[in-house]
Amino acid sequence: MFFLLNMVVILGFLDKTEIQVNNSAEKDWQKMNKKELVATIATSGGMSKVRAGQALSAVLANMVNAMEEGERVTISGFGSFRVVERATQKGRNPRTGESIIIPAHKTVKFKPGKNLNRRVEEE
């Protein structure tokens, strides 16, 4: 519960903030790196970039800790993250074409929330 309250306080401004992404003509896709996200948080939250970076790092560390303990991390209106177990499966080495066995492993799945889906569809 404490974790989710921190998330709401730190990221609460996201509902009201439009994130601007650098639109370069030479790129087919857009991306925002951590540095740009920290700058956006700082501007939107009226804080220094150092403080925004600390806040983002704290949020991400708490998310990782929660998922390591098997918890699902939900950010209302954005989406949820959870750890899933992938079964052993067959695959191919792309260089040699040789059949290989991909061992069972854990990975993180993200399921977007309704608000995020709605906003992406509007674009």
Instruction: Say what the pLDDT of residue 122 is.
Output: 85
Residue 29's pLDDT is 62
Q: What's the pTM? A: 0.67
Residue 3 has pLDDT above 90, yes or no: no
Structural domains of the chain, ranges and CATH numbers in brackets? 1-13+32-69 (no CATH), 72-123 (4.10.520.10)
Residue 86 has pLDDT above 50, yes or no: yes
DSSP per-residue letters across the chain: -HHHHHHHHHHGGGGG-PPP----TT-SS----HHHHHHHHHHHHT--HHHHHHHHHHHHHHHHHHHHTT--EEETTTEEEEEEEEPPEEEE-TTT--EEEEPPEEEEEEEE-HHHHHHHHH-
